[in-house]
Amino acid sequence: MTIPDSAADAIRHNPAQNDPMVTFERVTKRFGNDEKSFVALDNVDLVVGRGEITGIIGRSGAGKSTLIRLVNGLEKVTSGRVVVDGTDVGGLGETGLRSLRREIGMIFQHFNLLSSRTAFDNVALPLEIAGLDRAAIKAKVGPLLELVGLADRASHYPSELSGGQKQRVGIARALATSPKLLLSDEATSALDPETTQSILALLKRINAELGLTILLITHEMEVVKTIASHVAVMDVGRIVEQGRTFDIFTAPKHETTRIMLAATSGTTLPEWLKTDLRQTPSAGDRILVRLTFLGATAFQPLTARLVTEIGGDVNILAGAIEEIAGEPFGTLVVAYPATPDTIARANRFYAETGLSTEVLGYVA
């Protein structure tokens, strides 16, 4: 389904290359007084590129929600600056903040729809607040409901809609004022996996066809992997790692990132094997190696060639081929005899093929 022209023309943005939409400059946010203060954000630097989908991920209490509330001025920085499209948010008064918020759409975890208003009227609400007349509101809301696939649900109340449909209404409402930036606060956390995928596909399509910048916060690695081109990992108020989603997922450097990725990598070792894993080999042991397949190598028969190279005594213990930010990525955990000759032949094969490897340990 393509986005209707009437909706697209009203919302479309044309991102410039390497042009920042949001910049966090040495941002610190402290709650409470000096004696009993709590630092929610500690010296955060981050750039959200125009037209990109950037994910902020971290566990509960990492500072994600505080970070996103600084963007639309719902919270103010203790020190540093938050700049949105060239405007220092901290320097705005109430009039300036109201103007800025009309250019920033927001979707929420629990939808925040008014139960007494239909889908049409929920989407119309920000337009009513902006002072548009009924004819102008009707001309805009109809295409927005069509955009999110709910043209036939315009007269339905939230109680008559599924969770996914409610979130689609929320997305349409967020787009009503033709924003240049869309904030997503755990927008899929209350949805089942199938519905989550449909909402993420919608957001990805809106980004691609409208050029709309999306900044989303989540604790779900699967969400970031599916939709975000860039990601920042937060832990205890700091950004501990950031970059292209593919790079962070395929070569995480910080322990927090590795722990959060463990459940989504497809190569988690069984507990009995983890228990028996040793870091130094003994006679007769087998070596466990994680192989990483990037790009085109994810689809090449390298495992079969490895068996041919070092012999048939190779066990495959875990593995997966998946897509991260639109790029193929494969991982495989194999075990083979930890003899000097076998290891040397395997290492030659890895060097020749460019496979990335990590020795996980040794087992009897």
* Residue-wise DSSP of 272-293: HHHHH-BSS--TT-EEEEEEEE
pLDDT at 1: 44
Instruction: Look at residues 55, 22, 45 and name the one whose alpha carbon lies nearest to residue 185.
Output: 55
List, for residues 339-353, the tens digit of each pLDDT value.
Answer: 999 999 999 988 888
pLDDT at 267: 57
List, for residues 5-62, the tens digit of each pLDDT value.
Answer: 555 555 555 555 458 999 999 999 999 877 778 899 999 999 999 999 999 999 888 9
Mean pLDDT, residues 298-313 taken together = 78
296 — pLDDT class (breaks 50, 70, 90): low
User: Is beta strand 104-108 parallel, antiparallel or unpaired with respect to 181-185?
Assistant: parallel
The DSSP output letter for 264 is T
Instruction: Look at residues 126, 76, 122, 124 and name the one whose alpha carbon lies nearest to residue 101.
Output: 126
pLDDT at 17: 47
- Token pair belonging to 88: 């220092």
pLDDT at 12: 56
pTM score, whole prediction = 0.80
pLDDT at 11: 56
266: left (phi over 0), alpha (psi -120 to 50) or beta: left
Tokens 């087992």 correspond to: 363
Sequence-ordered list of residues with C-beta below 8 angstroms from that of 187, at least 6 positions apart, any chain: 107, 108, 109, 167, 170, 199, 203, 216
Sequence-ordered list of residues with C-beta below 8 angstroms from that of 275, at least 6 positions apart, any chain: none
Say which amino acid occupies 267: T
Percent of residues, the chain, with pLDDT higher than 70 = 92
List, for residues 222-265, the tens digit of each pLDDT value.
Answer: 899 899 999 999 999 999 999 999 889 888 889 888 888 876 65
Q: Are 241 and 252 in contact (CB under 8 A)?
A: yes
User: Which domains does the chain carry?
Assistant: 5-261 (3.40.50.300), 271-363 (3.30.70.260)
List, for residues 70-111, the tens digit of each pLDDT value.
Answer: 999 999 999 999 999 999 999 999 999 999 999 999 998 888
